[in-house]
Amino acid sequence: MKTMLRFTTLLFLALFSLGLQAQISKGGTPLSFTANLKGDYQILEYEQPDMEAVIFQDQINDNDPSRPLRAAVPVSLNLDMMKHASETTIAGKRVWRLGIRVPEARAMAVYYDRFWIPSGGELFLYNENHKQVIGAFTEENNPEEGLFVTELIQGDMVTLEYVQSAEIAVLPSIMIAEVAYGYRFVEMERYADDQTRDPSWWCMINVNCQEGDDWQQEKHGIVRQWMKVPGGYAWCSGSLVNNTSWDLTPYVLTAGHCGEGCSASDLNQWVFYFNYESATCGGSSGPENQTMTGCYKRAADESAGDSGSDFYLLEIKQAIPSSYEPYWNGWDASGTGSVGGVGIHHPSGDIKKISTYTQALQTSTWWNGMPTHWTFEWAPTVNGTSIVQGGSSGSPLFNSDHLIVGDLTGGYQSNSCESPSPVWYGKFSYSWDQMGSTPEVRLKDWLDPGNTGELVLPGTDGNDPIADFSADPSGTSPGGQIQFTDESMGNPESWTWTFEGGDPPTSTEQNPLVTYNNYGVFDVTLTISNTFGSDTEVKHDFIVVGDPPIADFEADVTTISVGEKVDFENLSSGDPTSQVWKFPGGSPFQSHKYDPPLIRYDEPGVYDVQLTVYNDYGSDVEVKHAYITVLGAPQPDFSADTSLVLAGGRVQFMDNTLGEVNTWSWTFQGGTPGTSTEQHPLVSYEIAGTYDVSLEVSGPNGTGDTTKQDFIVVIPPVDADFSCSNTAVIEGSSTSFTDESHGEGIQEWHWQFPGGVPSESNEQNVSQVFYPEAGTYDVSLSVVGPYNEDTELKTGYIRVGNPPEAAFEASALLVEEGQEVDFTDLSQENPTEWLWTFEGGTPGSSSEQNPTGIQWLESGTYDVSLQVSNVFGTDELEVTDYITVSGVGIEGFEETLNIFPNPSDGTFTVDLTGLNEEVESIAILSSTGKLVKMVTPEALQKKVAIAIAEVPVGIYTVKITTDVKVMTQQIQIVK
């Protein structure tokens, strides 16, 4: 079972309903541009939407054909522009500027819940690089409801600039409700500094390619629609349509499912883009400033195709400016199928495209059991097979008479450029009067308001016609026929011809064929008319009837040697008034004289001669084929399939010698082979350089040779290579990459940085690539030259980690003279090198990770330090007085001494009552020997209170040093 899909692209915005004025601005330039206004102004930055959540939901929705494709999400602002904007006064004008930034937006539209501008005020909006400017919006744009919207602005920052005279006391009310944060399906690349965009599928053909040559009027009626619909915003296509009153009512026909469920308030904010197309066949952008906003629903298939033809007839709220060059397309409601035509549409909201069909339309159903639709498949053309996709919905289907016969509903979900599928268009004839008997459900009442009964109506641009015509030929002999061609502009509907001396003498055909039987000079008159007026063109003495001349000539000799001359004689009759001689191979090549000068032939060969003679009644041509034979030595010449070749490539040479040749002798400087006697040799070139090629030919009439200097250019291929400023990167930091590729004319660079940010780049040299996570990563660089591509992949090139953090512990901190101490490395982040320093110790240093057997031979307190290193850096830990060496022995606390409470929360008391010696110090040491606190008791103090509540829980050592001995005891700190 195949899934059917309607071709609608949704911009999913949870926005409020707006009543909008037509978005026609005055134009102009912001004052800050013309006055070169410098200085900072307020820029408010808002948090980017949770794009991980947005993208996750898109991945689910995009696979569901019942859901539209989301392109934007809302960001709520609720701010008063005039309270937040920065104000400047210049040249008697007050200027307020306010920037709004939402990071990484591709485009943003601003929505206002209060919009009022006083007389004399102007509002402009522009993007950060000033390439896109819209406005000025003035009091003429003030909506009755106070609600307004301005079109999409490229980039992640939009600036609002309001200007009014300093003499105006009243200020505007510009309350911004929110912005639409566009992140895909918004084609704004012509305003951006990069080329980021979501174009339509690759097979779509621009309307100004060859396929659209015959549809230049009709395309002016096609509109791109940005629509507020339940639950969001969507792209569709539509067309202006004419009506039998010819009053240029701005009716737009689109698909019913485009407007399904829309309220009158929703329709108030539909935006219609006119002439959004590329001027060329290969272009990718077009003007986006010809817009209208707001419309009324006049009639619709409320089932959106489920039980009808899926049509929606709208009326734009205001008259369309003539500067938009609108065209109201004609239609055919007779129900007659066409055997060919086109569809013109805006796929994915992209520039205007054209698709062609050449098969007969077939009556079908959109799964509703009724004959409501046309179906067919698209045909290949000179530029490929253009189809339709999301955003094309509602676009018109034209028949071979350039009239609308349907509007697009959709096709199979599997439709693609690689595998185009059939499409379905709702029948115009079914929408005409088959959906019901009331105006709300059919087209007839709106497009034939006078009930004329017309079922076929041509289109119009609403202008008076301009008469013009041509004739082929403009002179003839008696009894000859002349084809007249109407070249009038303005879509004439009737033609009245008058042919003086012609048969017939009058005609109402558009392009009549007329016979002239009598000699003479005659006038021709054409009068044309359409609904909007008429025009007459008279061309006096336009047709001349008489006897044409008869061309003839001869030469004094027809076989000569190279370098000799031929004398030609004109033997034409009928009094020619002018002539043109052509002498291929001769010099001169052409002559306009009655009897030409002597013609010299310098190249051997067999040549034609042509003479064309003219008078007022016509012309005649005489061609004598193979008339002149020139004998001589062969004239060597050659060509190659290419003169630019990569080293190691091959070149196919072709002999183009003129004349009879028996032998060939080639010489190929730098080539393999270096010589050849073949007529068309194939030669390889291995070494870069510029090389000559020579050819000598021999025949029965002589020998000739030629050398083409620097004919072959052998270029080295591009070879990708690169370097990095630091291949060992600290986690969370960056490094830079430098292109060191070889070869001339490198045009593109494509970097890949797995694990890096950014993960790819097209710059030649990349100054910053961040690596947020530890690991080992590849790096690749692909370069594109004029003639080849190359990729360099360095596997495991980047190592990402952290410098080590030094830490250690000893097997004992209080030792006797000569006692051995073992040390254990506790460092973090995988050090690879260790350097220990043992003050006073034996040995005094070590490079082992866990040195053992370290001794101190004299009593005292000694420092210990450890320096650790890895590829990411170095760290050093030095612990002062870490090792205490006593010559009198290390003792535990005497029974008369006490620490309480133990365990402790960090506050405890050392009771020295039972100690008779003088206490020099009390030290608290961590498990790694780090001094936490040192206390010197007062003389005769027997109870010493100590507080170390801020330390982590664990086991700590209390060391009491007296004038004769050292004592230690452990205390447990708990919380």
Contact 553, 611 (CB under 8 A): yes
The answer to whether residues 225 and 239 touch, using CB atoms and an 8 Å cutoff, is no
Give dist(CA 800, CA 772) in Å, integer: 8
pLDDT band, very low/low/confident/very high, at 15 (cuts 50, 70, 90): very low
DSSP conformation letters of 460-487: B-S---B--EEEESSEE-TTEEEEEEE-
Q: How open is the CA angle 713-719-724, to the nearest 5 degrees?
A: 145
> Of 75, 59, 68, 140, which is closest to residue 107 (Cα–Cα)?
75
pLDDT at residue 330 tops 90 = yes
51 within 8 A of 145, measured Cβ to Cβ: no
User: What pLDDT sits at residue 46?
Assistant: 97
Choose between 835 and 894: higher pLDDT: 835
Burial class (CB in 10 A: 0-12, 13-18, 19+), 952: exposed
Give CATH for domain 469-545.
2.60.40.10
Of 162 and 185, the structure prediction assigns the larger pLDDT to 162
**Between 912 and 67, whose confidence is greater?**
912
- The mean pLDDT of 751-778, rounded to a whole number, is 96
Domains of the chain: which residue ranges?
A: 16-191, 205-449, 469-545, 553-631, 638-715, 722-801, 808-886, 892-973
d(CA 838, CA 861): 11
- The larger pLDDT score, comparing residue 58 to residue 429, is at 429
Torsion-angle region of 455 (φ positive above 0: left; ψ -120 to 50: alpha; else: beta): alpha
553-631 and 808-886: identical CATH topology: yes
pLDDT (tens digit, 9 = 90+) per residue, 275-325?
999 999 999 888 888 999 889 999 999 888 888 999 999 999 999 999 999
Arithmetic mean of pLDDT, 956-968: 83
What are the helix (H) ranges across 124-173?
A: none
Any idea of the CA torsion for 429, 435, 439, 445, to the nearest 10 degrees? Answer: 20
Which stretch of DSSP H or E encloses residue 405?
strand 404-412
Global confidence as pTM: 0.50
What's the CATH architecture for 205-449? Beta Barrel (2.40)
Residue 75 one-letter amino acid = V
Nearest CA among 560, 541, 639, 636 for reference residue 598: 560
pLDDT for res 39:
75
892-973: what CATH class? mainly beta
pLDDT at res. 594: 95
- For domain 553-631, which architecture applies? Sandwich (2.60)
Q: Which pLDDT belongs to residue 465?
A: 86
Q: Let me know if domain 722-801 sits in CATH 2.60.40.10.
A: yes
Distance CA 255, CA 394 (A): 4
| pLDDT of the residue at 895 | 57
Burial class (CB in 10 A: 0-12, 13-18, 19+), 935: middle
User: 768-819 pLDDT, tens per residue?
Assistant: 999 999 999 999 999 999 888 999 999 999 999 999 999 888 888 888 899 9
C-alpha neighbours within 13 Å on the C-beta side of residue 555:
23
3-state SS of the chain: helix, strand, coil percent to 5? 5, 50, 45
> Which residues have C-beta within 8 Å of that of residue 678, sequence separation ≥ 6?
664, 666
Q: Which two tokens stand for residue 279?
A: 């001027």
DSSP, collapsed to helix, strand or coil, labels residue 875 as strand
Looking at CATH, the fold of the domain delimited by 638-715 is given as Immunoglobulin-like (2.60.40)
Band (13; pLDDT cuts 50, 70, 90): very low
Residue 698 in this model has a pLDDT that exceeds 60? yes
Which pLDDT does position 199 carry in this prediction? Answer: 73
The domain made up of 808-886 is a member of CATH 2.60.40.10: yes
Distance between CA 911 and CA 526 in Å, rounded?
128
Q: Which residues contact 924 (CB under 8 A, 6 or more apart)?
A: 931, 932, 933, 934, 935, 946, 948, 956, 957, 958, 959
